[in-house]
Amino acid sequence: MERTLKLMLSYRGTRYHGFQRQENAVTVQSVTEAALSKVLNQPITITGCSRTDTGVHARQFCCSLKTDRMIPHLNLMRGVNGELPDDISILSCEDAAPDFHARFDCKGKEYIYRIHNSESKNPFLTDLALHYRRPMDIPRMQACAQVFVGTHDFRTFCASGGIKENTVRTIYEMSVKKQGDCVAVLVKGDGFLYNMIRILVGTLLMANEQHLTPSDMREILAAKDRLRAGNTARAHGLYLNRVFYDTAYQTESTEEFPYFY
């Protein structure tokens, strides 16, 4: 009897060309499928909740798969984790409804972008946070970030080549917090355009450097012009932090969220 499994993964994306399988490239999907296929002794294809880019990390990433093997959840986790490299881990495994689909059933995602704000680089944060030397005006960035909360046309914040017919998305929460020399930007919404989070972060950094105001942010948002926004922040600071399969997250406020250290 075929069963549908729901897996939660965590991975460091530094060595991978994103999640999705590609020819002539090492990806999280291809490595994970190889480990699962070996443990289950049958070809396995997994469906991911998202397509993370090269260098992007995930603290929680959901996958679904189908198999007729009746292996217990814990045994599967232990077996697969024993085959996976140290930068990918199975966090949990459970049976799901037969028609469960990790991507299409996902109701929302939460990302965190991490910035190491210091004159000196931290060798322990290489490829794990953006190193940013300039002083950061956190209250200004927080005020500007609130402009993006709500339902808007985010065409300004979509990379060229990734424009879709519908560029309207809803952001339920966006906040900028600092602890020591670590700054984290949290964004929670129902979906995101190509490079949208990284462009939003780049635009907040532009607001910091050019002393822009929330009014300036509203003009940039309304322009629907990629050239009006900031640079695309580098991939290695971005983490898919949580994925949601019900709508309760839409009304929850994240009082605290994890930092690097």
- Give catalytic residue positions: 53
Q: Give phi and psi for 164, each to the nearest 5.
A: -110, 165
Phi, psi values for residue 199, rounded to 5° = -75, -40
Query: Do 169 and 151 form a contact (C-beta atoms < 8 A)?
Result: yes
Taking each continuous run of H as one helix and of E as one strand, the counts in the chain are 5, 10
In sign, the C-alpha dihedral spanning 84, 86, 92, 97 is negative
C-alpha closest to that of 220 among 113, 212, 112? 212
Q: Which of 137, 103, 154, 158 is nearest to 206 (CA)?
A: 137
Joined together, the tokens standing for residue 86 give: 């140290």
| Exposure string over 182-201, b if 16+ CB within 10 A, otherwise e | bbbbbbbbbbbbbbbbbbbb
